[in-house]
Amino acid sequence: MTRRWTITSLLLLLIYVCSRSANAQTQIPEQTNTIDLEAALPEPRAYIPDSQYLDFVYHNHEELTRFLRATSARYPNLTALYSIGKSIQGRELWVLVVSSSPYEHMLGKPDVKYVGNIHGNEPVGRELLLHLIQYLVSSYETDQYVKWLLDNTRIHIMPSMNPDGYAVSKEGTCDGGQGRYNARGFDLNRNFPDYFKQNNKRGQPETDAVKDWISKIQFVLSGSLHGGALVASYPYDNTPNARICRSSALCAMFQTYSAAPSLTPDDDVFKHLSLVYAKNHAKMSRGVACKSATPAFENGITNGAAWYPLTGGMQDYQYVWYGCMEVTLEISCCKYPPAYELRKYWEDNQLSMIKFLAEAHRGVQGFVFDNNNNPIERASLKIKGRDVGFQTTKHGEFWRILLPGYYKLEVFAEGFAPREIEFVVVEQHPTLLNVTLTPSKRTEGSLPISQLYRPVPGPPPHLYRPPTPGYSGDSGLFSSITSGLNNLYSNLFG
């Protein structure tokens, strides 16, 4: 395809090149893939799955496994299948990588992911992720947008995080809790460590497997697919109750359900990511309520805590602990709609699912080296004024999704002098920024970086956090009532 360059595009490219040359400290290593400009690509084409390989029906765990294995065998150059663990009842927690480099990490190529079916009775996302897999692998040679995405991104797709819950769910059930929980009766999206409160719920095999998974792979962007509403919900999901109601557990119980946003330092980015999904969706951005008794959402997005607070959610955990930006995608008013409606859900979500993943290429990315050009692993980074940090991979790589603007990057690593680098982000072009750190001169009695920059207990010490909000914990009867109301609300609305 011949690319047409406008004067605006050339000016943006010139700004980008100037900012890159002004900030680069070393030469970027040779990369297998070069990121093309997304703006120069045609939109992804509409896609109709081949029913010979995947029809619009619900697939049980055995059928899901056969499809993933068959796809991996049929497309060995684009896919790699692995399991991150097993459910309580012994079902594999499958993940399929879809990329032009599925078996190995390529330098500068971000890892992104989708997770479906964390609530077993919300399986629309489970099926859409299977169709997304087929769409990507079968369109690679014919769709330029898909080819660009797979050449420059490693996409990890987990269709079902809760296969045991799905096994006892019932098709056609729009509300209720049957199948929502794992085989031990735990809500997996309330089972992660929490930034605002101590989560005393016993860790489950499924959540432990996910925690181990995301500790090993530096995910930049993630979407978790749910059902029961039509909205893109972004962090924080929880809120510091102490700031709302300090004196009474009963007051705190009722205040839990007030519409109080709990905003992250990256609120602008999370709103943007949510809008990317909602506006590319066939219906979500209209903000229409699923039922008369349920809320409507302006532009189809909401802050999680402003909708209803929850403790132990997956998206807050990934953001605070590992700097991964995850959005919860509620994609069906009915939790478990009849199978004949799945084609409609695919048509509604196809473009959103692709465009959302492409946002991993927005913002800043680069490498951190020592002065011998060796990569520095686990260097701590943060954008000044955005006190949730991230870190480098073993290859010294980093990524951060940011909107256009001027920023300062703060970089720390054990044994090195800290640095602060200014850079600019422009629309559509990721800013490539390489940083060289020099050895620090330690003075007797000085503390290591890991102790100097550990602001709160709990999360890993290598990451920055905003100061922990004050919290007056609930207890006893009122805590139980609050928990019960939270579960009821979740069962009804997502």
- Across the range 369-398, mean pLDDT stands at 95
Tell me the CATH number at 396: 2.60.40.1120
Shared domain for 338 and 384, answered yes or no, is no
Structural domain contains residue 203: yes
pLDDT above 80: residue 493: no
Residues 179 and 100 in one domain: yes
Residue 462 maps to a domain = no
pLDDT at 36 over 70: no
- Domain presence at residue 11: no
In this structure, the answer to whether residues 112 and 194 fall within a common structural domain is yes
268 and 312 belong to one structural domain: yes
Q: What pLDDT band is residue 490 in, cutting at 50, 70 and 90?
A: low
CATH code for the domain in which residue 170 is found? 3.40.630.10
- Catalytic: 359? no
Residue 376 confidence (pLDDT) above 90: yes
**pLDDT-derived band at 494, boundaries 50, 70, 90:** low
Q: Is residue 410 part of a domain?
A: yes
And the tokens for 461? 């010490």
Same domain, 319 and 191: yes
- pTM value? 0.83
* pLDDT for 290 beyond 60: yes
Both 351 and 369 in a single domain? Answer: no
Is 172 a member of any domain? yes
pLDDT digits (tens, 9 = 90+) for 50-59: 666 799 999 9
pLDDT tier at 258 (50, 70, 90 boundaries)? Answer: low
For 135-186, write each residue's pLDDT tens digit.
Answer: 999 999 999 999 999 999 999 999 999 999 999 999 999 999 999 999 999 9
pLDDT at residue 9, as a whole number: 47
Three-state SS for the chain is: CCCCCCHHHHHHHHHHHHHHHHHCCCCCCCCCCCCCCHHHCCCCCCCCCCCCCCCCCCCCHHHHHHHHHHHHHHCCCCEEEEEEEECCCCCEEEEEEECCCCCCCCCCCCEEEEEECCCCCCCHHHHHHHHHHHHHHHHCCCCHHHHHHHHHCEEEEECCCCHHHHHCCCCCCCCCCCCCCCCCCCCHHHCCCCCCCCCCCCCCHHHHHHHHHHHHCCEEEEEEEECCEEEEEECCCCCCHHHCCCCCHHHHHHHCCCCCCCCCCCHHHHHHHHHHHHHHCCCHHHCCCCCCCCCCCHHHEEEHHHHCCCCCCHHHHHHHHHCCEEEEEEEECCCCCCHHHHHHHHHHHHHHHHHHHHHHHCCEEEEEEECCCCECCCCEEEECCEEEEEECCCCCEEEECCCCEEEEEEEECCCECCEEEEEEEECCECEEEEEEECECCCCCCCCCHHHHCCCCCCCCCCCCCCCCCCCCCCCHHHHHHHHHHHHHHHHHHC
Q: Tell me what the mean pLDDT of segment 400-408 comes to.
A: 97
Active-site hit among 92, 206, 330, 397: 330
Report pLDDT digits (tens) over 181-205. 999 999 999 999 999 999 999 999 9
In a domain, 326, yes or no: yes
- Domain's final residue, options 337, 361, 385: 361
pLDDT tens, position by position, 269-286? 999 999 999 999 999 999
- Please indicate, yes or no, whether residues 79 and 152 belong to a single structural domain of this protein: yes
Instruction: Looking at the structure, tell me whether residues 188 and 107 fall in a common domain.
Output: yes
Residue 206, in any domain of the structure: yes
Which of 320, 346, 361 finishes a domain?
Answer: 361
**Same domain? 105 vs 224:** yes
Residues 70-82: pLDDT tens digits? 999 999 999 999 9
Amino acid 44: pLDDT: 83
Instruction: Give the end of a domain, one of 413, 436, 459.
Output: 436
pLDDT one-digit tens code per residue, 23-34? 433 334 333 333
Q: Tell whether 293 is covered by a domain.
A: yes
Which pLDDT score, from 0 to 100, does residue 252 have? 41
Same domain, yes or no: 164 and 304: yes
pLDDT digits (tens, 9 = 90+) for 352-371: 999 999 999 999 999 999 99
Residue for token digits 């991993």? Answer: 360
Q: What is the pLDDT of residue 241?
A: 64
Count of domains for the chain:
2
Domain containing 294: what range? 61-240+258-361
Tell me, yes or no, whether 343 and 400 share the same domain. no
Same domain, 374 and 267: no
Which has the minimum average pLDDT: 37-51, 125-139, 460-474? 460-474
